[in-house]
């Protein structure tokens, strides 16, 4: 199997040593993303709902670079340090997938801490036979 690490200039640059995206056959795995602005590298302010919205905005901006759409999203994992505010996370999530006939599978986990002081981190798994 050919495993590659495709790139997108629309994703925030990693601050640590890892591949933001790995492609293995028809699977594209997006590493955990926090709500960084792709230009400034600064963390989004406004709490878990705003951070979730920024992560999803960054993801959607980059999807065309990988030949993907949200319809190819199979699974998402959400990690948060503020599970008591999960309603705000879910509101941002639902606004993104409101018109989807098949939202992806999703796991949500409360954690003690996340990188860079973020309150939300999300990772994504896509499947597409057509992705380059």
What pLDDT was estimated at residue 130? 81
Q: For the chain, what is the mean pLDDT? A: 95
Residue 14 or residue 60, greater confidence: 60
In 10 A of CB 53, how many CB atoms?
21
Q: How confident is the model at residue 28 (pLDDT cuts 50, 70, 90)?
A: very high
What are the tens digits of pLDDT across the range 101-112? 899 999 999 999
Delimit the domains of the chain by residue range.
3-9+18-127
- Compute the average pLDDT of residues 16-32: 96
Q: Is 76 exposed, middle or buried (0-12, 13-18, 19+ CB in 10 A)?
A: buried
Mean pLDDT of 75-91: 98
Q: What is the CATH superfamily name and number for domain 3-9+18-127?
A: RutC-like (3.30.1330.40)
């Amino acid at each position: 199997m050919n495993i590659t690490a495709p790139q997108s200039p629309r994703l925030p640059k990693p601050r640590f040593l890892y591949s933001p995206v790995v492609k293995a056959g028809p699977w594209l795995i997006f590493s955990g993303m926090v709500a960084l602005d792709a230009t400034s590298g600064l963390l989004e302010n406004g709490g878990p709902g705003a951070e979730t919205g920024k992560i999803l905005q960054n993801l959607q901006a980059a999807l065309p670079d990988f030949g993907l759409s949200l319809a190819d999203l199979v699974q998402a994992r959400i990690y948060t340090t503020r599970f008591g505010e999960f309603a705000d996370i879910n509101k941002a999530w639902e606004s993104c997938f409101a018109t989807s006939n098949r939202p992806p599978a999703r796991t949500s986990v409360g954690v003690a801490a996340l990188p860079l002081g973020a309150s939300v981190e999300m990772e994504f798994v896509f499947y597409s036979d057509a992705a380059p």
